[in-house]
Amino acid sequence: MLLFVVVFAKAQVGIGTTTPHPSAQLDVTSSNKGFLPPRMTSNQRIAIQNPNDGLLVYQTDNPTGLYLRQNNTWVRLSSIGEIPAKSMSIVAFTSGVPIRMIPERSGVEHFGSIIGFSNSVGEIDVRNPTIDIVSRQGTNINHAVIMPINGVLKNIATFFSFTGAIPSGNLNIYVRVYYSIDGISFARLPGAEIVMQKSANTYPSFMKTLRNDFNIPVLGAYRLMIVFSASSDNGRIDVDGFASASLGIE
């Protein structure tokens, strides 16, 4: 049997409890019963005079369900099965032709390449913290895409197939997402990076990596682009090949 208690000291009502929660005007507590809101047809719901925002009823005829009065209109609360799954947009980049990456002799990165949609541009000095597309107008360096809405970067997939000599030593190929607010100066998007690794004395024809553990916000109107670069303990040996990458953004 439910216990009805009115706590006048706090102007609260507890049903099934003598200690209503401090944040609740009405606290209904039960371990084997639910709460039934008023049940009515669509015509009866519409006939309610001056319904206040926050009013909740259950409609018994089609479309059945809970209806909430919000912003001076009735809103049907969808069931989980009716809520569409989060959609993911795939943004793809590909070099179109082989790119060239040139590591430093000291085993660090030096010149990389930007890839776009079946095009690319090389001799990008990745040692600089930013890439300025205005200073390189004559080389068609602007291969960025623009974000139409706010989103979250969830996945990065990368692929590189060798077309030239494969370095015999250890090789790291770095794939990074760069972003810009003004469309001119691009910086690395923090955390948006993949490293493809080749061990010494191995000669794969391609390298690929997929990561789906990112959770990086990207804002609408951000411009995004992909930059490939490499480091090798073989020194300053060109690394040539076809490059591609894709971003999964929710």
**Among 23-32, 40-49, 138-147, which stretch is predicted with the lowest mean pLDDT?**
138-147
Per-residue pLDDT, 137:
46
Tokens of 51: 């319904």
Asked if the model's pLDDT at residue 218 lies above 70, the reply is: yes
Per-residue pLDDT, 117:
82
pLDDT digits (tens, 9 = 90+) for 171-205: 999 999 999 988 888 999 999 999 999 999 999 99
Terminal-residue alpha carbon distance, the chain: 49
pLDDT digits (tens, 9 = 90+) for 5-43: 444 445 788 888 888 888 888 888 888 988 899 999 989
**Vertex 236, ends 234 and 242: CA angle to 5°?**
90
Which of 234, 227, 200, 198 minimizes the C-alpha distance to 104? 234
Per-residue pLDDT, 10:
56
Per-residue pLDDT, 1:
46
SS3 46: helix
Establish how many alpha carbons lie within 13 A of residue 242's alpha carbon, considering only the half-sphere containing its beta carbon: 9
The pLDDT confidence band at residue 135, using thresholds 50, 70 and 90, is low
Contacts of 42 (CB under 8 A, 6+ apart): 59, 61
Asked if the model's pLDDT at residue 138 lies above 50, the reply is: no
Which of 105, 108, 234, 106 minimizes the C-alpha distance to 167? 234
Per-residue pLDDT, 124:
85
Tokens of 1: 């049997």
Q: How far is CA 154 from the centre of its chain?
A: 4
Tokens of 43: 């015509």
User: Which domains, ranges and CATH numbers included, belong to the chain?
Assistant: 4-82 (no CATH), 89-249 (2.60.120)
Question: What is the chain's mean pLDDT, rounded?
Answer: 85
Contacts of 43 (CB under 8 A, 6+ apart): none
- Cα–Cα dist 93/87, whole Å: 20
Q: Could you give the C-alpha distances from 191 to 6, 178, 188, 218, in angstroms and in order?
A: 55, 10, 8, 12
Owner of token pair 């951000």? 222
